Structure 1
């Protein structure tokens, strides 16, 4: 794709002008906002007739059946994570309406994930092993086994012709996607970027998580969902006026032992420095709260930096379970929902922290728009 004359490179920071969510609270950002602000528990018993998972409970999207949500056309072989992403992008474009000023060619999509659909990968591999010959597989299932299937299907369904990118980053994928989206805007590769992350619940994911989980995270419940955000440059006055939040900075770090504390502290300092804000400007901090020691250390480090009151202003995400790749995106959505319901001080900054027990931490600083 060549640079578009109508999408010039810019040095202004990107702004979030719209968002959507498909979550265990239901389909739509209004359902998510109402549920997360109320702290509503979403855990429910798993139907043994539908699921063969090792756990008895999970945080699933109620009534999410692909053919009922998206219709029969084009969904026969669609997997769950693709359906979640396509639905979230549909709602985002519908809710933004005429406010999206970019053409389809100037609209990019960046989707964070863990591995795509673990269930689709395993089903396709199993078919090759169990068939009379290795190539006796259903070819319609092959696209689902590719990690970037969901992002590609979002572009096809919604006629998005700009750059299309999948970011595999585990729990920090939502923030990695946000950083990548900001780069697309800054370089002029797109005028609008739809950025977010998705994670499905499946038997395959449940068993993989069960076997990798130690005693430290034995009580974790899995969740699922997708959150998407519309990012635009703040250059046009109308975009700045519609801004829900300004993306000040995103940073990440790695750590090589079981303690993410030092890396997280450095990441926090780095993102504040790069964003040009002081610690006292931070109004709320959203923690990713992974199960076990990683979540404990995350809260200890952030409480020492900002105080418990600042952390408590952000809605807790524990009620939607471990949403893995979608977790950081849901954290951003929860902060936007909280800002709409609270008296946000002028210039207030919200910090999003994400800790993955595979050795990565990431932080994002957002300047919330006062409402």
Structure 2
């Protein structure tokens, strides 16, 4: 069968460096770091006392206080970002068939704060099971797409993808395939995460996954730098409206880019560490190129997973050299996690948005906080260090990899 073309017609973002698309893009191109001391709880006794929290964000500016109390922060973030994307696209259930508009959303953890607080409250009590009646519906990862669909009356495919840090890239790829196969006209997709909590910080610290650069949080996320020593935890949401090309054209929608392919793979190696030779990362990019029907030499830019971990950055860099060969040196590579921190299940969505905006504006956001070359990484590659670079981007890839060995890669193309 002839696969349908899929395009992006709406974008929404809620990030540590900007609370909407314009603010997010401004933060990216200006190399703004979102890292700062934690304000949500007393982190004095924690190994890591900073994170990339949202700034100047008040949920009641967007959601009624009574309704907001029924949602975990990850769902609140999903609602705000998806509302922006839906408004941007002009998609409306009254003007289209609501049965053919879906919501597929990613979250690596879901309602962690809700789970944490309910258990702590129980432990502090007399043993009586006095749990909030909204405990379960606030906590479950699939509640975000459910809430989005209820608000907008979108009655098409509706579910959550959970693949750790690859979750929202998986949601984008699933959405691409549902529309390609004619099973939906449009899908609101992306991801959200709100893991800057006692449990989140404590858990990642116990794994030795986080940077502990408490004396200088703003430079703590330093992908590909010799002195990197862990990622910085971030929070927020990214949303995209994916739509069948003819459906978008028929209603006069603005088209940001075409989604031309997606690749998936597994490291099948370790529960948290990447394959040391980047085998899964290599395979996922090869699979994406094949699925998109393009050559390695067609790629202009790659938003790398680039978490600022000692092992991950090396493995991904090796994989890019293997896949792209000499062309790798002509590609603009970058890691926006140097600015936003790592948004876990929302990372793929906000990084896909960065790739799309790079096409629109002809600009590659920088990888900030690079001070010292790592001899284990080929620094002849263009990692777009410290300053944004002008570049006409026709095809871009976005990589996201997750604990468990989950790998996802999405390909976008600028429309002629």
TM-score (norm 2): 0.79
Q: Tell me the secondary structure at the aligned position of residue 176 of structure 2.
A: helix
CA distance in 1, matches of 2:354, 2:186: 22
User: Per the alignment, do residues 214 and 340 of structure 1 end up closer, same or farther by CA in structure 2, a change over 3 Å counting?
Assistant: closer
2:285 aligned partner: 268
Match of 2:233 in 1: 222
Superposed, 1:283-294 pairs within 5 Å as 283-290=300-307, 291-294=309-312
- Contact 2:41 2:197 (C-alpha < 8 Å) held by counterparts: no
Residue 300 (structure 1) aligned to one of 304, 314, 318: 318
- In the superposition, relative to structure 1, how do residues 49 and 288 fare at CA in structure 2: closer, same or farther (>3 Å)? closer
Gaps of 5+ in 2: 212-227, 363-389
2-side partners of 1:224 and 1:267: how far apart?
A: 25
1:326 pairs, out of 341, 346, 357, with 346
Structure 1, unaligned runs of 5 or more: 1-8
Query: d(CA) in 1 for partners of 2:248 and 2:190?
Result: 24
- Residues 52 and 333 of structure 1, relative CA distance in 2, 3 Å threshold: farther
Greater mean alpha carbon deviation, residues 300-309 or residues 47-56: 47-56
The match for 1:310 is 331
Note closer, same or farther for the CA distance 1:110–1:300 as it changes in structure 2 (3 Å cut): same
Q: Does the CA-based 8 Å contact 2:189-2:242 persist in structure 1?
A: yes
> What is the aligned partner in structure 2 of residue 43 from structure 1?
35
Q: What count of residue pairs does the alignment treat as equivalent?
A: 360
* Contact 1:53/1:206 (8 A) holds in 2: no
Deviation, 1:10, is 6.6
Residues 280 and 218 from structure 1, CA distance in 2 versus in 1: closer, same or farther, beyond 3 angstroms?
closer
The change in CA–CA distance for 1:74 and 1:99 in structure 2 (over 3 A counts) is closer
Q: Which residue of 2 aligns with 1:135?
A: 129
Q: Which residue does 2:377 correspond to in 1?
A: none
Q: Distance in 1 between matches of 2:342 and 2:253?
A: 35
* CA distance in 1: counterparts of 2:317 and 2:412, whole angstroms: 19
Secondary structure class of the residue paired with 1:165: strand
Query: Residue 368 in 1 paired to residue 414 in 2?
Result: yes
**Quick check: 2:167–2:345 contact (8 Å CA) kept in 1?**
yes
Deviations 1:159-197 (A, max 9, x none): 333222111111111221012112322343321100101
Q: Which has the higher helix share?
A: 1
**Structure 1 length-normalised TM:** 0.88
Partner residue in 1 for 2:355: 335
Report the Cα offset of residue 13 of structure 1.
2.8
Q: Residue 202 of structure 2 aligns with which residue?
A: 207
Q: What does residue 259 of structure 2 align with?
A: 247
CA contact (8 A) 2:209 2:231 kept: no
Which piece of structure 1 moves more, 139-148 or 90-99?
90-99
Instruction: State whether residues 53 and 207 of structure 1, in contact with CA within 8 Å, keep that contact through their aligned partners in structure 2.
Output: no
Using the TM superposition, give the Cα deviation of residue 289 of structure 1 relative to its aligned residue in structure 2, in angstroms. 0.6
